[in-house]
Each structure stands twice: as C-alpha cells, then as structure tokens.
Structure 1
Amino acid sequence: MTAEPHETWTLRHATAWVFTANGSLTRPVVLVGDAGVELADLAARADHPAYSLLSELKARGHDLVLLGLPADGSMTGDGGTVQNAVARAVAEQLGSHPLTVGGTGQGALAARYALAGMEYQRIDHRTGVLFSHNGAAPELEDEAELSRMGERPRVPRFLRLVDEGVTDGLTGEITEDAVTGAAAPSTGPLLPEEYGSWLLDRLP
C-alpha cells in the first residue's frame, strides 16, 4: 500500500509529495526520482517492507519530500524543477536546519545541476548534503553546462551511492565520500538498507 503524503506540492512541470516527521517541515530531505517514475511507485519503494527509508528518516526527525520527474525531461529542465522544489522547501521550513537534496538516476543528475545553478546565480539553497544514487551520466551537452556551473555545487557535502558496474560520471575528485554495493532489484526498496543506513549517518 502506498504511503499517504501529508501534503502535495504542485510545481513547475512536476508534483511533490511531502511526508513530515512531526507535522511541520523542519528537516527536509528532498529526494528526486528517476525520470518517468510515478510518485506512487516512488513512495511505495521509499516505504518498502524490506527497508523503509521513509520510516527511518521519520525516526530521526527528518521530513521526506519526494519529487517526480517527467519521462521526457532534460537535465536543465529537470534542474529547474528541482530548484523550484528546493525553494519551496526553504520557504515553508520552520527553523534553519540544513536541507538534504539528492536523487536517483536522472533525478540525481538534476539535483546536482539544480544546486550548482543556484550557487551560480548566488541563490542560497541552504543545503548541507547533496547525494547521488546511481546517478545518470551527463550527455556531452550536459557536461558542458555542468562545467560552466563548476561541475558541482560547492557548499554542500557531496555523497555518492553507486552500484558496481554503474557509470554515473562521478569521481573522487567531484564527490567527497562514497559507498559501493551490489545491484539491487528494481522492485525492491528505493535505497537498499546498506545505502540507507550509510546515508542517514551522514545527514545534517
């Protein structure tokens, strides 16, 4: 059964589901799904019975903002959508606890570009950690755009979670800490327990 969000955000070209830990948005984790993944499927995998990232986040007082992306998007267009979600989280957050922003597949690449673009525009995204789970490798034109933005945002700590054999275009020169594991089934948890526990221990 799909977990029910406490709030739904209608954003530019996308929708986000908000799951709060204590009734209000205080410690947001913005997680961007892979391109074309329905929010209901994203939420079901985030609350998978084998490992519920949603429950583990809530237990530590973190709120989860799940963002779905269209199937036919681009890094720059999706990045604008992620910027919209981050700005909404900053505007609605109570307090000033650093955000966590990241994603899986195309969502990870969009999150990286979004925060780099905000810094390029001198917009305060208030993010302490950026994470990439099996991020999509940028195309040639995307690489040029990322290079123009400085490859990555400089303010947050950049964490990499990647399955063996996955090419995500990231290196130790770009990210600051990494964990590698065996490939998990696409119908399993959004993050395997190994990755989820590792990430949770590094959140602000």
Structure 2
Amino acid sequence: MTTEPDETWTLRNATAWVFPANGALTRPVILAGDAGTDLAALATAADHGSYSLLSELKARGHDLVLLGLPDDGSMTGDGGTVQNAVTRAVAERTGHHPLTVGGTGQGALAARYALAGMEYQRLDHRTGVFFSHNGAAPGLEDEAELSRMGERPRIPRFLRLVDEGVTDGLTEEIAEDTVTGAAAPSGGPLLSKEYGSWLLDRLP
C-alpha cells in the first residue's frame, strides 16, 4: 500500500511529496531519492514496516519532503531541482527552524552540489544539516564542477552515512560525522533503524 502525501510539489524536472508533521511545514527534511526511484516506492521505503523514517521524523516534529529525480538526469540538473525544493521549503515553512537537506545515491550528490552552489552564489539556503547516504561518487567532470563550487557546502553540519564497501567519493575527514553499517536488504526500509536513529539524534 502506497503512503500518500499531504501535498505534491511540481518542481523543475521533478516532483516532491510532502508529509508535514503538524499540518504545516515547520522543520523540513528534504530527502532526494536515487536517480529514477519512483516516488511511490520511495515513500513506501520511508514508511517501511520494519523501520518507518517518516513516523520517527513526525514524532520529533520534523516534516519530510521526498524528492524524486529522473533516471536520465545530471548532477547539475538534479542539483537545480534540489535548489528549487529548498527555495520552496524556505518560502513555505513557518517559524525559523533550519532545514535539513540530503539524499541517497545520486540524490545525495545532487543535494551536495545544490547547497554548495547556493553558497557559491551567496544564496541563503537556511540549512543546518546536510546528509549523504551512500552518495554517488562524482565523475571527472562533476568532480571539477564541485571543486569550482568549493567541494561541498560549508555552512551546514555535514553528516555521512555509508554502507560497508560503498565508494561515495568522500572521506571521513570531509564530513563532521560518519556512520558505517551493513547494506540494507533489497525491498527494505529507506534507512535502517541504526542509520535513522543516528541521523535523527543529530538534526536541528
């Protein structure tokens, strides 16, 4: 059964499903899925029976914004989509809690580029935490573009979640905090209970 969103955002080249904790956005967590991941599948994984990241976020007053990315996108194009989601979340949230922005796979790389690019352009992304879960390693062209933008966002706290054996192009030195765990089984939760608890304990 698909977990249905409270609201749908139509963004540049993508769609986002919005799950507010208390009826309105107050503490948004934007999570960009891996390239080509269906939003319904992403939502089902976020609300998995063995560990529901969605329920745990809501219990702590955090809103979840799931962002689906196309399967034929690029780091720069997907990064623009993440920037679009960040800008909308900042405009629609109530209060002054900082955002949390991140993703998994290609979505993590896009979020990294998006925030670094906004800082490079001196745009205020209002983000307190950036997280990367099994982030896609950038190719040579993407690596050069990231280098031009400063490699990574510098303002938010950088949290890295990486499965054993996964190469994400990052090191423990580049992130403020890193957790490593076993790979999740196919069809399992979006984040394991270990990863989810670790992340939630570090959110603003």
Please say if 1:135 is aligned against 2:165: no
Please say if 1:67 is aligned against 2:61: no
Matched residues in 2 for 1:99 and 1:132: separation? 15
Matched residues in 2 for 1:45 and 1:84: separation? 24
1:130-164 Cα distance to aligned partner (Å, 9 max, x none) = 00000000000000000000000110000000000
Matched residues in 2 for 1:8 and 1:184: separation? 28
User: How high is the TM-score relative to the length of structure 1?
Assistant: 0.99
Q: Which residue of 2 aligns with 1:21?
A: 21
Q: How much has 1:3 moved relative to structure 2?
A: 1.2
Q: Which of 181-190 and 59-68 deviates more?
A: 181-190
Q: List aligned pairs for 1:44-59, cutoff 5 A.
A: 44-59=44-59
1:90-137 Cα distance to aligned partner (Å, 9 max, x none) = 000001100000000000000000000000000000000000000000
Q: How much has 1:173 moved relative to structure 2?
A: 2.4
Other structure's SS at 1:89 match: helix
Q: How much has 1:180 moved relative to structure 2?
A: 0.2
Matched residues in 1 for 2:127 and 2:173: separation? 20
Q: How much has 1:186 moved relative to structure 2?
A: 2.5
Amino acid at match of 2:145: E
Q: Which residue of 1 aligns with 2:198?
A: 198
Please say if 1:101 is aligned against 2:101: yes
Matched residues in 2 for 1:190 and 1:183: separation? 11
Which runs of 5 or more residues in structure 2 are unaligned?
Answer: none
Matched residues in 1 for 2:124 and 2:12: separation? 20
Number of residue pairs matched by the alignment: 204
Amino acid at match of 1:137: A
Calculate percent identity across the aligned residue pairs: 86
Matched residues in 1 for 2:20 and 2:47: separation? 14
1:40-91 Cα distance to aligned partner (Å, 9 max, x none) = 0000000000000000000000000000000000000000000000000000
Contact 1:151 1:174 in 2 (8 A): no
Matched residues in 1 for 2:109 and 2:129: separation? 15
Contact 1:53 1:190 in 2 (8 A): yes
Q: Which residue of 2 aligns with 1:188?
A: 188
Which runs of 5 or more residues in structure 1 are unaligned?
Answer: none
User: How high is the TM-score relative to the length of structure 2?
Assistant: 0.99
